[in-house]
Chains A and B, each alone.
Chain A
Amino acid sequence: MMKQSDNPGASTAFRLFTFLGSKTVRSWCYQFLLAALLIGFSYWLYSNVVDNLRAQRIATGFGFLPQSAQFAIGETLIDYTPQDSYARAVLVGLLNTLYVTVCGIVLATVLGFMVGIGRVSKNWLLAKVCVTYVELLRNVPVILQVIFWSVVIRNLPSPRGAIELPGGFLTNRGLTFTVPAADNGWLWTLVALFAALVLSALVSGLARRLREQHGKLLPVGRIRLALVIALPLLAWLMCGAPHELNRPELRGFNFKGGFTISPEFTALLLGIALYSSSFIAEIVRAGIQSVPKGQLEAARALSFSPWHLMRHVIIPQAMRVMVPPLASQYVSLAKNSSIAVVVGYPELANISNTLMNQTGQALEAIAIMMVVYLIISGTTSLLMNLFNRYVAIKER
Chain B
Amino acid sequence: MQNGVLYWLHRHLFSSVFQTLLTLLLLTVLVLVGAALLRWGVIDAVGFSGTVEQCRAATGACWAVIGEKYRPILFGLYPYNEQWRPALAMLVWFVTLVLTLSPVCWHSRVLWPLWIVSLAAMSVLMSGGVFGLPSVASSDWGGLPLTLLLFSGTVIIGMPVSVVLALGRRSPLPFLRGLSVTFIEGLRGVPLITILFVAVNVFPLFLPPDMEVNKLLRIIVGIALFFACYQAEVIRGGLQSVPRGQYEAAAVLNLGYWHTTTKIILPQALRICLPAVTNHIIAAMKNTSFVIIIGLFDVLTATTAVMQDPQWRRYYIETYVFIACLYLLFGFMLSRYAVWVEGRIDASRNPEGVS
Closest chain B residue, CB of each to CB of A335: B191
Mask, B189-214, CB within 8 Å of A = 1, is 11111100110011011111100000
Per-position 1/0 for A24-50, Cβ under 8 A of B: 000100110011001000000100110
A356 to B286, CA, bound (A): 27
20 contacts between A and B (CB under 8 A): A31-B173, A123-B22, A124-B13, A125-B13, A139-B331, A140-B286, A140-B324, A141-B286, A141-B287, A143-B289, A144-B289, A144-B324, A147-B320, A152-B317, A335-B190, A366-B197, A366-B198, A369-B190, A369-B194, A374-B190
In the complex, identify which listed stretch (A197-205, A216-224, A336-344) lies at the interface while the others stay far away: A336-344
Is B323 on the interface with A (CB-CB < 8 A)?
yes
Interface of B is mostly: helix
Q: Is the CB of B320 within 8 A of A148?
A: yes
Please give me the residue from chain A that is nearest to B329 by CB atom: A139
* A124 to B20 CA separation, bound complex (whole angstroms): 11
Chain A residues 45 to 72 lying within 8 A of chain B, measured CB to CB, are 45, 48-49, 51-53, 55
Q: Which residues of A contact B30 (CB under 8 A)?
A: 125, 129
Encode contact with A along B285-297: 1 for CB under 8 Å, 0 otherwise.
0110110110000
Asked whether A336 and B12 contact (CB < 8 A) given A126-B22, A144-B323, A353-B197, the answer is no
Q: How many residues of A contact B (CB 8 A)?
A: 51
A134 at interface, CB cutoff 8 A: no
Q: CA A339 – CA B328 in complex, angstroms?
A: 21
Using known A-B contacts A34-B175, A339-B293, determine if residue A55 contacts B209 with beta carbons closer than 8 Å: yes
Q: Interface of A with B (CB < 8 Å)?
A: 1, 27, 30-31, 34-35, 38, 45, 48-49, 51-53, 55, 122-126, 129, 136, 139-144, 147-148, 151-152, 155, 335-336, 338-339, 341-342, 349, 352-353, 356, 362-363, 366, 369-370, 373-374, 377-378
A377 to chain B: which residues have CB within 8 Å? 188-190
- CB contact between A342 and one of B192, B287, B292, B323 (< 8 Å): that residue: B292
Distance in angstroms between the alpha carbons of A51 and B186 in the assembled complex: 27
Give per-residue flags for B304-327: 1 if the beta carbon is below 8 A from chain A beta carbons, else 0: 100100000010110010011001
Contact of A370 among B194, B207, B324 (CB under 8 A): B194
How many B residues face the partner with a CB closer than 8 A?
A: 53
User: What is B's interface to A at a CB cutoff of 8 Å?
Assistant: 12-13, 15, 19, 22-23, 26-27, 30, 172-176, 179, 186, 188-194, 197-198, 201-202, 204-209, 282, 286-287, 289-290, 292-293, 300, 304, 307, 314, 316-317, 320, 323-324, 327-328, 331-332
Within 8 Å CB of A362, what residues of B? 197, 201-202, 205
| Distance, CA A266 to CA B27, complexed state (A) | 30
- In the complex the two chains form, is A341's CB within 8 Å of B179's CB? no
Residue of B nearest to A143 (CB): B289
| Chain B nearest Cβ from A43, distance in angstroms | 12
